[in-house]
C-alpha cells in the first residue's frame, strides 16, 4: 500500500473545517436565541414599569381602551415578533444538540422531529401571547362581539397545535425503537451468528 501524506492532510483539513463550521453554527444559533430571550425579558420588564406610570389607567379619548392596554398591545406584538423570529433558530438549536455524526436513522428522525416540536411550541406560545396582550385593547372595542376575538385566536392556535401533535405522533415509533435498543440491545446484535463455530473440528481433531 502506498502512503499518501497529501490525502491524509487533506482529510484532516476537511475534518477540521467541518468541525469549525459546526462549532460556529452552534455558537451563532445560541447567541441568536439568547439575544431573543434577553430582549423579550427586557420588554416584559419595560411593560411592567410602563403600566405603573401615572395616568396609564385612564381611557384613550373617544375609546373604551386604556393607555395601559394600548401599551400592553404594542409590546405584546413586539414579543410575538421576537418569538416568531426565534422559532426556527430554537428548532435548529434543538436539532443540532441531538445530532451525532455516528447516529442511526432513528436518532436522526427523532432529532428532526424534536426540532419541529420546538418550532411549533414557540409558534403556539406566540399566538397565546398575542391573545393575552391584545385582549384588553381589542375586546372593549368589539363590545358584544368580544367572543369573536376568542374564537379567532382559538382557530389560530389550532394550527400550530395540530402540527405539534403530528410531530409528536411521528416521533413515538423511532423514539421507542431507540429506548428498546438502549435497554434490550439492537436486534441485529442479538441475531448475529457467533464468530466461533463450535461444530468445526479443532486443530487437535484434525491431527488425529
pLDDT in tens, 16-39: 444 444 444 567 777 777 888 888
Backbone angles phi, psi at 66, to 5 degrees: -85, 160
* Residue 54 belongs to a domain: yes
* Residue 103 belongs to a domain: yes
* Residue 175 belongs to a domain: yes
* Residue 8 belongs to a domain: no
Contact criterion met (CB below 8 Å) for 77 and 132: no
Q: Nearest-CA neighbor of 138 among 123, 156, 124, 153?
A: 153
Provide the total of helices (H) and of strands (E) in the chain, helices listed first.
Answer: 6, 0
Alpha-carbon span 130 to 138, nearest angstrom: 11
What are the distances in angstroms from CA 109 to CA 23, 106, 137, 139, 179? 22, 5, 43, 43, 14
Task: Find the mean pLDDT for residues 193-198.
Answer: 48
Range of the domain at 98: 25-186
Which pLDDT score is estimated for 89?
Answer: 87
* Residue 122 belongs to a domain: yes
* Residue 61 belongs to a domain: yes
Average pLDDT taken over every residue of the chain: 77
Diameter of the chain measured on Cα atoms: 112
Alpha-carbon span 7 to 18, nearest angstrom: 16
Mean pLDDT comparison of 17-26, 69-78, 156-165, 188-197, highest-scoring range = 156-165
Domain count, the chain: 1
* Residue 64 belongs to a domain: yes
Neighbours of 83 (CB within 10 A): 22
Contact criterion met (CB below 8 Å) for 59 and 65: yes
pLDDT in tens, 40-52: 888 888 888 888 8
Count of residues for the chain? 208
* Residue 195 belongs to a domain: no
Amino acid at each position: 500500500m502506498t502512503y499518501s501524506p497529501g490525502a491524509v492532510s487533506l482529510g484532516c483539513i476537511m475534518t477540521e473545517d467541518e468541525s469549525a463550521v459546526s462549532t460556529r453554527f452552534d455558537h451563532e444559533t445560541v447567541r441568536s436565541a439568547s439575544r431573543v430571550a434577553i430582549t423579550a425579558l427586557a420588554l416584559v420588564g419595560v411593560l411592567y414599569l410602563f403600566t405603573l406610570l401615572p395616568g396609564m389607567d385612564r381611557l384613550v379619548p373617544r375609546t373604551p381602551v386604556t393607555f395601559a392596554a394600548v401599551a400592553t398591545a404594542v409590546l405584546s406584538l413586539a414579543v410575538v415578533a421576537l418569538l416568531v423570529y426565534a422559532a426556527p433558530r430554537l428548532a435548529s438549536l434543538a436539532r443540532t444538540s441531538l445530532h451525532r455524526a455516528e447516529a442511526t436513522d432513528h436518532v436522526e428522525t427523532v432529532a428532526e422531529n424534536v426540532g419541529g416540536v420546538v418550532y411549533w411550541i414557540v409558534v403556539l406560545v406566540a399566538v397565546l401571547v398575542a391573545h393575552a396582550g391584545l385582549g384588553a385593547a381589542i375586546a372593549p372595542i368589539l363590545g358584544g362581539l368580544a367572543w369573536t376575538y376568542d374564537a379567532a385566536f382559538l382557530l389560530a392556535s389550532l394550527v400550530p397545535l395540530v402540527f405539534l401533535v403530528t410531530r409528536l405522533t411521528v416521533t413515538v415509533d423511532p423514539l421507542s425503537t431507540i429506548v428498546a435498543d438502549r435497554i434490550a440491545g439492537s436486534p441485529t446484535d442479538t441475531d448475529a451468528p457467533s464468530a466461533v463455530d463450535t461444530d468445526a473440528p479443532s486443530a487437535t481433531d484434525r491431527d488425529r
